Amino acid sequence: MNYMSEALKEAKKAYEIDEVPVGAVIIKDGKIIAKAHNLKEKKQLATAHAEILAIEKASKKMKNWRLEECELFVTLKPCKMCRQVIKEARIKHVYYGSEESIVNESTKENYTYIESGECSQILKDFFKKLREDKHN
């Protein structure tokens, strides 16, 4: 299974509801245990990032906040807040599909960039649409 494509499906859900299109999936033993997409606007909550929502779902499913045997696939390089939550949840490894970020901060060695034109393109399309909507 291509986990990044599953994260991209989540990003597309966010795009469809005018959220910044970021999607995340958490894997344990080769199976998806949680999926989420950005919901900051819908929930009016600054912490409703895809990664955090996926971690909350995985923790609930595992009945444990420690996700040491889990991996996270996310369409955009996690922000500083999300990286801290990922660290606190003890997620084993993070794979991200786009580095389209306002802030380019270095990450720990347990992060792997998987170049994905689709992950970058959906973000570019979203912000282009947003600019066009503001001008109309």
Catalytic positions, written as ranges: 51
Q: Which residue type occupies 87? A: K
Partners of 24 in beta bridges: 36, 74
3-state secondary structure of 97: coil
Cβ pair 38, 21 in contact under 8 A? yes
